[in-house]
Amino acid sequence: MVLGLLAAVLDVAAAEYIGEETCLVCHQVSGEQFGHTRHAGAFRTNAQTELERRVCESCHGPGSDHQLDPTAPGAIVGFSSDSGDLEQQNGMCLACHQGGGRTHWAGSIHEAADLACSDCHNPMVRVSVDSALRVSSINETCLSCHQQQRLEFRKRSHMPVLEGVMTCADCHQPHGSPTRALLRGETVNQTCYECHQERRGPFIWEHAPVREDCMNCHRPHGSNHESLLVTAQPFLCQQCHMQLRHPAALQTPGSLPGANFDARLGNRSCRNCHTQIHGSNHPAGAQLMR
Ligand code: HEC
Ligand code: HEC
Ligand code: HEC
Ligand code: HEC
Ligand code: HEC
Ligand code: HEC
Ligand code: HEC
Ligand code: HEC
Ligand code: HEC
Ligand code: HEC
């Protein structure tokens, strides 16, 4: 594997740079389409490094072998599944884009699943406003592989992602992150606080499961219960609070043999009294009731 990569790199390295003008003799249409992209703007008129001045060959590698025999496999870095080593392809991009957002690319779940930069990006044509994506939007880029999430975002309660108000990348870092599920924040909660600041607190009276992880009660993508809840109320609360010392033994029908159903559990249930589920700043809010 390592030897193969080395051989591939050496192979291309043995070729020589022939310059954009020569590429355009045979690839005029590609060259024109490429002209509308940010890379073209940067490389053609404002090159900052020797590599950028190579234009086409900064990504595709030196082209002399390819010029001699355009059908020879591997003579140029082609970014297609049958045109060479994946690590080599990604390596061409990482030569300029290491660090920053790519700090956690190596070892990320997308890298481990053998994704190429070009599975999400196409620098040859300007299809998206930003980020040189393969398709017009971030969401469609992700949903092209993650069909399940499209279904989830169509459930009754969901954040406005398919509506175009926010994107998958508001919560996820597709190039890898140190946290689970490629999250942007250091934790699930930090990710959520980015937009729901009022949940960050601090609170005089905290509700332990809220501080621990929003996912204790919420789904991230969609739910058929109100407010993205994992399950219906009052069962949501009763999962953790079975033995209550309530003024009246509040029970739902059938939750305990012989228990009486208390009307106060109807409708919005526990929240009729415990309104401050996410934490309270009232001096007398220990029971999350104000
Ligand atoms: C003499 C004409 C000629 C020149 C010069 C030329 N190409 Fe090509 N190139 C071709 C042809 C023909 C193909 C299609 C080969 C095939 O279908 O197998 C091709 C294919 C490609 C591909 C697709 C390869 C793949 O594996 O999918 C890339 C990328 C490419 N060229 C880039 C370049 C770049 C960059 C340059 C300049 C450094 C260049 N070419 C110079 C003729 C040329
Ligand atoms: C920033 C990197 C980058 C630069 C610069 C670049 N390419 Fe590409 N090129 C790619 C990638 C990635 C693909 C694969 C696109 C895809 O998956 O469809 C590609 C694909 C191609 C192909 C295959 C057919 C196609 O159009 O998809 C040709 C031919 C090609 N490039 C020629 C060129 C030429 C000529 C230039 C210079 C005018 C150039 N490229 C500049 C990254 C680059
Ligand atoms: C030689 C250095 C170099 C290489 C190689 C290179 N890039 Fe870039 N890339 C740049 C520069 C410089 C910019 C900034 C252009 C600008 O903002 O004007 C950029 C911008 C981008 C952007 C943002 C573009 C936008 O429209 O917002 C993406 C995405 C990107 N590159 C992906 C890639 C991918 C994928 C590859 C490999 C196929 C690649 N780059 C190869 C130098 C490079
Ligand atoms: C799973 C899809 C996916 C893959 C794979 C991917 N990207 Fe991206 N990339 C995106 C999306 C979506 C954005 C725009 C959202 C954002 O800014 O985070 C982006 C933005 C970028 C940008 C511009 C913004 C920035 O972070 O600097 C660069 C540069 C870039 N990608 C380079 C790469 C390189 C290099 C690779 C391969 C090592 C790669 N990407 C692989 C989806 C992907
Ligand atoms: C080319 C296909 C492809 C694209 C495009 C893609 N992914 Fe993935 N993604 C995968 C694969 C394969 C995995 C590995 C786990 C799996 O099979 O679900 C994965 C895993 C993930 C995971 C982690 C799942 C876990 O269990 O930890 C997240 C989060 C994710 N992708 C988000 C995104 C986002 C956000 C985008 C768009 C920026 C995106 N993906 C685009 C193929 C893709
Ligand atoms: C509001 C923030 C947010 C948005 C927006 C978001 N996600 Fe997620 N996603 C999460 C969180 C949080 C998790 C982790 C859930 C867990 O670990 O319990 C997750 C998990 C995932 C996973 C792993 C499997 C799973 O379902 O748990 C995939 C794949 C994924 N997201 C893809 C996407 C895609 C694709 C989009 C856009 C269509 C998207 N996400 C939008 C927050 C978000
Ligand atoms: C990029 C900003 C952003 C991030 C990050 C974010 N949200 Fe949201 N959230 C929104 C927006 C916008 C709405 C819709 C608000 C509205 O309709 O008034 C929303 C609505 C909600 C709702 C109410 C849904 C309903 O059906 O009424 C819940 C619950 C929620 N978010 C939980 C979370 C959780 C949990 C996280 C972390 C995984 C999170 N949010 C991360 C922007 C965000
Ligand atoms: C113990 C369960 C529980 C946990 C944990 C939890 N929530 Fe909630 N959340 C609820 C319930 C119940 C509702 C619906 C009742 C309401 O509207 O107050 C709700 C509603 C919401 C809403 C929509 C209504 C509103 O007030 O804007 C948002 C946004 C929200 N939660 C964000 C979060 C965030 C962010 C976290 C993590 C910091 C979190 N929640 C953790 C139970 C929880
Ligand atoms: C994931 C488990 C979990 C869920 C779900 C949950 N709680 Fe809690 N709750 C706790 C824990 C743990 C405490 C802290 C108990 C302690 O300190 O003794 C707590 C504390 C409380 C308190 C303060 C009482 C006290 O003694 O400190 C109230 C009131 C409360 N929860 C109501 C609710 C309501 C109403 C719901 C449903 C919206 C709910 N809880 C959902 C785990 C949970
Ligand atoms: C009619 C108003 C009301 C409703 C409805 C209600 N509670 Fe309470 N709850 C109270 C009061 C008042 C206290 C304080 C009792 C005390 O200090 O002895 C309390 C205390 C608690 C406590 C802390 C003391 C203990 O018994 O552990 C928890 C936890 C709790 N409630 C959870 C719930 C859950 C879960 C539900 C829904 C199944 C619920 N409550 C419904 C009024 C209510």
Mean pLDDT over each residue of the chain, to the nearest integer: 89
Q: How far apart are the CA of 71 and the centre of ligand 1, in A? A: 8
Instruction: Judge whether residue 167 has pLDDT over 80.
Output: yes
Q: How far apart are the first and last CA of the chain?
A: 63
Task: Name the residue of 219, 233, 240, 268 whose CB sits within 8 Å of the most ligand 9 atoms, as the mutation to test its pocket.
Answer: 240
Between residues 119 and 270, the one the model is more confident about: 119
Q: Give me the pLDDT at residue 272, please.
A: 85
For residue 258, name the pLDDT band (cuts at 50, 70, 90): very low
Between residues 183 and 7, the one the model is more confident about: 183
- pLDDT-wise least confident of 37-51, 72-86, 182-196, 250-264: 250-264
Residue extents of the structural domains in the chain: 2-97, 98-201, 205-290
With a 6 A CB cut-off, is 181 part of the ligand 6 pocket? yes
- Are the beta carbons of 57 and 67 closer than 8 angstroms? no
Cα-flanking dihedrals φ and ψ of residue 106, to 5°?
A: -60, 125
Candidates 80, 113, 77, 70; CA nearest to 94 is 77
Ligand nearest to the CA of 146: 6
User: Which token pair is 73?
Assistant: 């496999």
Task: Name the residue of 177, 215, 221 whose CB sits within 8 Å of the most ligand 6 atoms, as the mutation to test its pocket.
Answer: 221
Per-residue pLDDT, averaged over 34-62, amounts to: 97
Instruction: Judge whether residue 151 has pLDDT over 80.
Output: yes
Q: Which long-range contacts (CB under 8 A, 24 or more apart) does 94-102 make?
A: 95/51, 96/51, 96/52, 96/58, 101/173, 101/175, 102/175, 102/176
Candidates 151, 142, 68, 157; CA nearest to 110 is 142
In this structure, the residue with its CA closest to atom 28 of ligand 7 is 227
| CA angle centred on 269, ends 263 and 273, rounded to 5° | 95
Candidates 262, 269, 265, 193; CA nearest to 229 is 269
In this structure, the residue with its CA closest to atom 31 of ligand 8 is 227
